[in-house]
Structure 1
Amino acid sequence: MRTLLLLLGVTVALMSAKQLTVLCPGGIWVCPSGNTCCPENNGQYGCCPMTNAVCCSDQQHCCPSGYRCDATGLKCNRQNEVATIPSMQKLAAISMV
């Protein structure tokens, strides 16, 4: 009975942790829930602090959904509009290894 309760507790803890993180492609890196995994030059991942973000090609910045990164990666252009906003700097992802 103790073993069953222990297994149940571990399962609940793992399920809770899974809901609090976003697993990046490859399964090595995780970001906090509500973030988007974006690749970096070194093969690692960074975390863009918004859901469904657009990862900029400079691999340092990101833009909200519905925006495109400009050529420098420093500004986000709203699709089909002239409006721009500053891009966001990615945060480091956490390694699971």
Structure 2
Amino acid sequence: MELAQVEAEIEKLLDTLTGANATLLAYANKKIEELDTRRQTISKAIAELSVETISPQQIKKLSYYLDNWDSIDFDDKRKAADGLISTIKATSDRVQIEWKI
């Protein structure tokens, strides 16, 4: 929804530029750059959310791996961790795990 609003603002600014003077054009260019940066940020966030969505099939596999953790091999454990963990940041003081779920 916010993406549509930003795109509408850009379109509105572009529509008002017909016959504009240099000062108005400079202001409009600055505003369009700001809005375009915001649009790109929103689009990137949407893309990241879309990528990290877990399908029902993936949930079923992860459930199997977790239910059978003691008997599955290392590769399956790695797949389970891959399906659940987005990033791991470790320092000498702490470990931070960003989960996909």
TM-score range, shorter chain: 0.3 to 0.5
Question: Which structure's CA Rg is the greater one?
Answer: 2
Structure number with the higher helix fraction is: 2
Structure number with the higher strand fraction is: 1
